[in-house]
A and B are shown apart, each in its own frame.
Chain A
């Protein structure tokens, strides 16, 4: 099978299970993000792909070759560490071509490659500087250049943006994505930042408590999360407790709503479920505008107008529903007004409670 494959991988440290029975396949040339809260095992999984940890059970293979027991230095990988891990005793150029020096490339080859990589990373002319003379953003570019120096088959990044400030982070996300697409290299990024994952990934692997919770394209995961954990982790979600009332119908309090998407387990007839909607897909209407189809009743509890968007918080039987609108849809409601919240069927997802 082409690409990188993880089969039944479990990692235990003493009696703590860091990664439990993970099965994943990474297509060649795609970018995958491991997304999850800290301590969910995503870094351990990445380190097992790198070979820095050995799985307790399971198998990791690349293009059909079993990598599980291959030592780190014999794997064809490039890795960017959270702290960048640049060698303080070497110059920028020597850092970038360290892997070539290890493999015995000539000095002139190494110097040419260092220049080429620095040009690619928009950092020309710094090869003779010391690492301590570089800014955080420059260090990250050098770390990426170093990992790519020998054109590895797999490119791994462990929380690559966490050491950068917010503005730089967004610019680097876009740059990293462009670079990856240009090189067409199989890439795995670990992050706890959902915006970052949505920006750069072809495929997101959401992890929690040592397990893979959901795998899919960013939009798949955003629109059809499998449970409330994933829904809460990716974007903002409104969760209303409800009960199944027939096929594609749920009952919220006294109101019946049609739903567009029902997630498998725990959602049979008459079962308690959660009705999930995204803030930008629900609309607040004043009660005097008539009762739209598929709507719940509530009271406005807060209005946050930040110019580009308006957020309206509605209290529906003690549960908060957020609606994010653009100014042109502004329903002109005030705190304390009774309103209806329209939830179009295709915007409603049923999740197990």
Chain B
């Protein structure tokens, strides 16, 4: 009985395993192989083993880019959680009808492409566009000015991209939060704010951590927003990878950078899982 069950279960897993194998594992192995390839006389490169591309990464310019990318994405994860968490908590207190409407609206937001969002923000932050003129009009600025390209513009647009994701990632945990826990906290003398910090946040900590990590990894892969809204010094590792792959035709170095990016994401995921698994 038990064996028959596990056998049928294995059969059921075959299609998805093949899919993942063909479309994820094979390209992944190819990237790793390319990143350690050696130059060739007949073509760009041939399979072999050389760490020359990783040595090129190990210069201050690229290491600094890696730190900048990780720092930027961590900041974005933090900011989008700060916006999304209180909002989602309020949302779970709404009636089922308005909850559904809000969730549909947020899902619709996700369907907008990164390109569209990047160029919209470019217009919004331009000298002749929206925000600069409004600031000048209300008297906060002497005359309208361009706010792009800048690090702030990159940050704003990426946070804008990340917030709907955060809401959707936080929503299940917050809507499952047992209402009697917050009520118990109130009867024990905690104000609503105190309850939020001493009960709601600690109880939903796993969801906060996992959505923070997801946002971090997602924005680490963003290429268009930093390119459109940032100066070259605001380019993230992902932009540099695109640059190497598309404009410099240097596949091996692009692959090496991709592997570094992967190690950063993997490292963050492992570190966070370990750190947050410590208490339970």
The chain A residues found within 8 Å of chain B, CB to CB, are 50-52, 71-75, 77-79, 81-83, 85-90, 98-99, 102-103, 146-147, 149-150, 156
Q: Which of A81, A86, A147, A149 has the most CB of B within 10 A?
A: A81
Q: A79 to B191, Cβ gap below 8 A? A: no
Query: Taking the complex as formed, is B44 at the interface, i.e. its CB lies under 8 A from any CB of chain A?
Result: no
Bound Cα distance A89, B178 (Å): 13
Contact check, A85 vs B194: say whether CB atoms are below 8 A apart. no
Report how many A-B pairs have Cβ atoms within 8 Å: 69
Within 8 A of A (CB), among B180-203: 180-181, 183-192, 194, 198-199, 202-203
Q: Is the CB of A99 within 8 A of B188?
A: yes
Q: Once the chains bind, are A89 and B184 in contact (CB under 8 Å)?
A: no
Q: Quick one: which of B220-235 are within 8 Å of A by CB? A: none
**Which residues of the partner chain B approach A82 to less than 8 Å between Cβ atoms?**
180
Residue B205, interface by CB 8 Å: yes
Q: Is the CB of A102 within 8 A of B183?
A: no
Name the CB-closest residue of A to B195.
Answer: A73
Interface residues of B (CB under 8 A from A): 178, 180-181, 183-192, 194, 198-199, 202-203, 205
Give Cα A94–Cα B203 distance, bound, in whole angstroms: 14
Assess whether A78 is in contact with B181, with CB atoms less than 8 Å apart.
no
Q: Contact: B180 with A89, CB < 8 Å?
A: no
Closest residue on chain B to residue A89 by CB atoms: B202
The reply to whether A72 and B181 form a contact with Cβ atoms under 8 Å apart is no
Say whether, besides A87-B203, A89-B202, A98 and B178 are in contact (CB < 8 Å): no
- Tell me if A73 and B205 are in contact (CB < 8 A): no
Chain A residues positioned under 8 Å from B178 (CB to CB): 83, 85
Out of A72, A86, A103, A150, name the residue touching B186 (CB < 8 Å).
A72
> Is the beta-carbon distance between B180 and A81 smaller than 8 angstroms?
yes
Chain A residues with CB under 8 A of B184: 79, 81, 85-87, 146
Can you report 5 A-B residue pairs in the complex whose CB atoms are below 8 A from each other?
Answer: A87-B181, A87-B185, A88-B203, A98-B190, A102-B194
- When chains A and B are docked, how far (Å) is the Cα of A82 from the Cα of B183? 12
Q: Which residues of A contact B203 (CB under 8 A)?
A: 87-89
Question: Quick one: closest B residue to A52, CB to CB?
Answer: B183
Q: Could you say which of B183, B190, B199, B202 contacts A81, with CB atoms under 8 Å apart?
A: B183
Q: Which has the most chain A C-beta neighbours within 10 Å: B188, B189, B190, B198?
A: B188
Our pick among A73, A78, A98 for the contact of B191 (Cβ within 8 Å) is A73
**Closest beta carbon of chain B to A217's beta carbon, Å:** 28
Q: How far is the CA of A190 from the CA of B152 in the complex (A)?
A: 57
Question: Which single residue of chain A is at the shortest CB-CB distance from B191?
Answer: A73
CA distance A298 to B31 in the complex (A): 94
Task: State whether A85 touches B186 (Cβ < 8 A).
Answer: no
In the complex, how many angstroms separate the beta carbon of B271 from the nearest chain A beta carbon? 21
Per the bound structure, the CA–CA distance linking A147 and B180 in Å amounts to 14
Give the residue among A52, A71, A83, A102 with the most B Cβ atoms within 10 A: A102
Least CB separation from A88: chain B residue: B203
Contact B181 A52 (CB under 8 A): no
Contact status B189-A150, CB under 8 Å: yes
B199 touches A73 (CB 8 A): no
In the assembled complex, the Cα of A99 lies from the Cα of B199 at a distance in Å of: 12
Q: How far is the CA of A82 from the CA of B190 in the complex (A)?
A: 20
Shortest beta-carbon distance, B278 to chain A, in Å? 13
Instruction: Knowing A83-B178, A85-B178, A85-B181 are in contact, say whether A78-B202 is a contact too (CB < 8 A).
Output: no
Bound Cα distance from A102 to B185, whole angstroms? 9
* A73 and B180 form a contact (CB under 8 A): no
B188 lies within 8 A of A146 (CB): yes
Interface centre among A71, A72, A90, A98, by most chain B C-beta atoms within 10 angstroms, is A72
* B183 contacts across to A, CB distance below 8 A: 52, 72, 79, 81, 85
Q: Are B191 and A89 in contact (CB under 8 A)?
A: no
Decide: A87 near B199, CB < 8 A? Known: A52-B183, A79-B184, A81-B183.
yes
4 closest A-B pairs by CB = A85-B184, A99-B188, A85-B180, A72-B186
B190 touches A79 (CB 8 A): no
The residue among B180, B184, B185 with the most chain A CB atoms within 10 A of its own CB is B184
Q: What B residues does A71 contact at CB under 8 A?
A: 186, 191
Excluding A89-B203, A98-B188, A99-B189, 11 further A-B contacts by CB distance (< 8 Å) are: A51-B186, A75-B187, A78-B187, A79-B183, A81-B180, A83-B178, A87-B199, A89-B205, A98-B185, A102-B188, A147-B188
Chain B residue contacts of A147, Cβ below 8 A: 187-188
**Within the complex, what minimum Cβ distance (angstroms) separates B205 from chain A?**
7
A89 to B201, CA, bound (A): 10
Cα A51 to Cα B187 with chains together (Å): 8
Contacts of A103 in B (CB 8 A): 189
Chain A residue with the shortest CB-CB distance to B202: A89
Query: Once bound together, how far apart are the Cα atoms of A150 and B181, in whole Å?
Result: 18
Name the A residues within 8 Å of B188 (CB-CB): 73, 78, 98-99, 102, 146-147, 149
Residues in B whose Cβ lies below 8 Å from that of A52: 183, 186-187
A residues near B181, Cβ cutoff 8 Å: 85, 87
Closest to B187 in A: A79
With a CB–CB cut-off of 8 A, which chain B residues contact A149? Answer: 188
Q: How long is the Cα–Cα vector from A189 to B247 in the complex, in angstroms?
A: 75
User: How distant is A306 from chain B, measured CB to nearest CB, in Å?
Assistant: 40
Q: Pick from B189, B192, B205: contact of A102, CB below 8 A.
A: B189
Given A89-B203, A89-B205, does the pair A83, B180 have CB atoms closer than 8 Å?
yes
CB proximity of B95 to chain A, nearest CB, Å: 11
Residue of B with least CB distance to A83 = B180
Query: Which chain A residues lie closer than 8 Å to B202 at the CB level?
Result: 87, 89-90
Specify the chain B residue showing the minimal Cβ separation from A50. B187
Check A72–B194 contact: CB distance below 8 A.
Answer: no
CA A146 to CA B199, docked complex, whole Å: 15
- Chain A, residue nearest B181 (CB): A85
CA distance A58 to B120 in the complex (A): 55
